[in-house]
Amino acid sequence: MIPITEYAGRDVAVFGLGRTGLSAAKALKAGGARVHAWDDNEDTRRKAEAAGLTLSDINKRDWQTFAALVLSPGIPYKFPQPHRIVRMAEMTGVPVVGDMELFARAVQSLPERGRPKIVGITGTNGKSTTTALIGHILKHAGRDARIGGNIGTGVLDLAALHANAIYVLELSSYQLDLVKSLHCNVAVFLNISPDHLDRHGGMEGYQAAKMRIFQNQTERDTAVVGFDDVISQSIAIGLAARGPARVVQASSSYALGRGVSAVDGRLYDSNSGNAAFIGNLAECAALPGKHNHQNAVAAYAACRALGLDPQTIMEGLRTFPGLAHRMERVGEIEGVRFINDSKATNAQAAEQALKSYDNIYWIAGGVPKSDGIGPLASYFPRINKAYLIGEAEEAFTATLKGKVPTQGCGTLENAVKAAFRDARNAGIDNPVILLSPACASFDQFRDFEHRGDTFRSIVEAMMPTELRELA
Show Cβ contacts of residue 309 under 8 Å, excluding neighbours closer than 6 positions.
Answer: none
Show Cβ contacts of residue 134 under 8 Å, excluding neighbours closer than 6 positions.
Answer: 119, 121, 145, 168, 188, 299, 302, 303
Instruction: Tell me the binding residues for ATP.
Output: 123-129
**Residue 130, φ and ψ in degrees, nearest 5:** -65, -40
Show Cβ contacts of residue 380 under 8 Å, excluding neighbours closer than 6 positions.
Answer: 400, 403, 404
Describe the strand order of the beta sheet including 336-340 as a list of residue ranges.
Answer: 328-333, 336-340, 432-435, 360-365, 383-389, 406-410
**Residue 348, φ and ψ in degrees, nearest 5:** -65, -35
The Cβ of residue 242 has, within 10 Å, a number of other Cβ atoms equal to 10
Q: Smallest Cα–Cα separation from 321: which of 357, 362, 286, 363? A: 286
Q: Would you say 186 and 214 are in contact if contact means Cβ atoms under 8 Å apart?
A: no
Phi-psi region of 157 (alpha: psi -120 to 50; beta: other; left: phi over 0): alpha
Q: Using only C-alpha atoms, what is the Rg of the chain?
A: 23
Show Cβ contacts of residue 357 under 8 Å, excluding neighbours closer than 6 positions.
Answer: 339, 382, 432, 434
Q: First vs last Cα of the chain: how many Å apart?
A: 51
Question: What is the rounded CA–CA span in Å between residue 272 and residue 446?
Answer: 47
At 364, which helix (H) or strand (E)? Answer: strand 360-365
- Of 150, 185, 191, 271, which residue is the catalytic one? 150
Question: Is 290 in a helix, a strand, or coil?
Answer: helix
Q: Is 150 a catalytic residue?
A: yes
Q: Is 403 a catalytic residue?
A: no
Distances 396 to 388, 420, 432 between C-alpha atoms, Å: 7, 20, 20
Active-site amino acid positions: 127, 150, 196
